[in-house]
Amino acid sequence: MSIGRRIWRRSMVSVALIFYILVVAGFAYWTYRHERQLLFDRLDQQLMLAATAIKHVLADDFHDRALGPAAITPAEDDQNIEAMSRIADEFGFAFLYTVIEADGKLYLTSSSATLQERADDEEVHYYHHYYDASSKLLAAVGGSEPVYATYTDRWGTFRSLFLPQVSPGGRPYVACAEHELSYVNELLQAKLDESVVIALILLLATLPLFVVYRTIHRRYEREHESARHQLEQDQADHQARAGRLDELAATLQQTQQQLHAVTSELAAARAQLSDQETLFQVITANAADISFILDQYGAVKFVGATVKKVLGYAPDEIIGTHVNTYIHKEDLEALTETVGKAAAQANQTLEFGPLRMRHVADKWLTMEGVITNKLDRPGIHGLVANIHDVSARFQAIKQLRLNHQAIAEMANQHKASATCAQQINSPLTGILASLELLRDHAVSAEETEQMVKEMIAAAAEIRRVVDELQSIEKAKYQAFTTANGGDDASAEQPESAGRQ
């Protein structure tokens, strides 16, 4: 066994022994305190009996008559001293006496005397001034409850009882009984000696147990030392055999850690790539000018950079706001209904528009698009809206309709002037502009077909008006030439002018 372990074991034995000694000493002290309390309880009971008996020793009206220094005769006082001394000697009390208060002072009205005092004729007589009375006695004079006290005065140190009494005539006084503490201390010393003897006996009783423990402990130490040497030898052999295994285990652990790190990095890269691919696929699923991601309540979570080009806002200005902020109030109801329907079913795609969105320059652009529910899609968790600006197309359609109305008004008026034909050049220019718009901008097949039909109808109307104007001009020219006798050579001039 190592030196440190031996020291530890010896320390533990020492601690246990000290603890046992403290327990025995504590038991002895508790026994002493307990016996002391019992002794004082017995003394207090005896004092109570003695103080209560004083009023039966004195005359019934004694304190009713004790009104001054000469109120009691010396013969009666000697008789009282003799009677109270006899009781004190018989029951082992130091003193029995009574006290009254007069003019703020305490006076002894009766008192027992010791044998020595009686032999030396030094008894305490009636109306003796008690100038060194204890504070507990002073408290008892003005009270109604018995007061126990341990105090010292010129006669010695006593355990006393001060019992307030009232004479038949209603005069208060205090009956006192005292035990000298020298007697009590003798009894307590005897109890203390008894407790010490019991403690020593208990300590000596442990010696055989201690000897047996030391014998068993030494044998255990020898066996333990032998087993320890054998264990050290076995451990050395085991370490020699396991050395190679430890190296292989360390190499394998290092390889596993590297593999785990690579696997974690690969998983993280795959997850990030998957989220990015998902976001890219959803955002670019419908080629559009602007891409939004909204939450289920319409708040903007993401907006593409093209919003700056189309609407004039920076993406950071829009993210976090509600999409309704940028929608014309007349289109809010339709958009809100579409968003609600899309949010109600996962992966649902709905078309919306045309609707008007506010440009940063405080103008309105006409927009169309689709919205798809991707609230459950990792990496998105929102409603994806792809919209594009169709303001130019709607403006072209509007212009075509205006041109058609202008041509119809010209046809209805049947103007006969050749200048009316030249005014048709403006609608024709609008038609050409619309054709260029169709050529340069991507529109759906249905919209293209509709625009072409409207342009053909406008062109036919223009042709009809031109033919009608030519007929009118020709008729007017023929009437003119007939009236003026003109030749036929210039008959083609109005037709030529009309074609121009």
Domain boundary among 365, 389, 413: 389
The CATH number of whichever domain residue 306 belongs to comes to 3.30.450.20
> For residue 239, is it within any domain?
no
> For residue 71, is it within any domain?
yes
Residue 314 predicted with pLDDT over 90:
yes
What integer is the mean pLDDT of 86-105?
90
> For residue 279, is it within any domain?
no
Query: 416 and 293 in one domain?
Result: no
CA–CA dist 355, 364 (Å, integer): 9
> For residue 372, is it within any domain?
yes
Q: Which residues pair with 352 in a beta bridge?
A: 369
Query: 141 and 125 in one domain?
Result: yes
Domain boundary among 162, 177, 201: 201
Q: Are 368 and 266 in contact (CB under 8 A)?
A: no
Give the domain extent around 342. Answer: 287-389
Compare 47 and 153 and report the one with higher pLDDT. Answer: 47
Distances (CA, A) of 209 to 86, 222, 371: 57, 20, 92
Q: What are the structure tokens assigned to 137, written together?
A: 């006695």
Query: 178 and 95 in one domain?
Result: yes
> For residue 209, is it within any domain?
no
Q: Which of 338, 342, 374, 368 is nearest to 355 (CA)?
A: 368
Residue positions counted in the chain: 500
Domain boundary among 162, 179, 201: 201
Q: What residue spans of 206-331 are helical by DSSP H?
A: 207-283, 307-310, 315-318
Query: 169 and 22 in one domain?
Result: yes
pLDDT of 230 reads 87
φ/ψ (deg, to 5) at 375: -65, -30
pLDDT of 121 reads 87
Q: Are 404 and 457 in contact (CB under 8 A)?
A: yes
Q: Among 286-300, 314-328, 423-437, which is the least confidently predicted range?
A: 423-437
Distances (CA, A) of 6 to 16, 163, 221, 232: 15, 66, 9, 18
Q: How many domains does the chain have?
A: 3
Q: Which residues, at least 6 apart from 432, have a Cβ–Cβ distance to it below 8 Å?
A: none
Output the CA torsion sign for 456, 460, 463, 465. negative
Query: 117 and 12 in one domain?
Result: yes
| pTM, full prediction | 0.37
pLDDT of 286 reads 47
Query: 317 and 180 in one domain?
Result: no
> For residue 171, is it within any domain?
yes
Query: 130 and 32 in one domain?
Result: yes
Question: pLDDT tens digits, residue range 110-136?
Answer: 999 998 888 888 899 999 999 888 888
Query: 343 and 427 in one domain?
Result: no
**How many other CB atoms sit within 10 Å of the CB of residue 390?**
20
> For residue 149, is it within any domain?
yes
Residue 191 predicted with pLDDT over 80:
no
Query: 415 and 328 in one domain?
Result: no
Q: Are 396 and 451 in contact (CB under 8 A)?
A: yes
pLDDT of 487 reads 46
Q: Identify the helix (H) or strand (E) that includes residue 165.
A: strand 156-166
CA–CA dist 407, 231 (Å, integer): 117
Query: 421 and 366 in one domain?
Result: no
Spatial strand order of the sheet with 300-303 comes to 300-303, 290-294, 382-389, 364-374, 349-358
Question: pLDDT tens digits, residue range 429-462?
Answer: 667 666 766 666 666 777 777 777 778 877 777 8
Query: 462 and 409 in one domain?
Result: yes
> For residue 341, is it within any domain?
yes
Question: pLDDT tens digits, residue range 374-406?
Answer: 998 888 889 999 998 998 888 888 888 887 776
What integer is the mean pLDDT of 71-85?
93
Query: 179 and 50 in one domain?
Result: yes
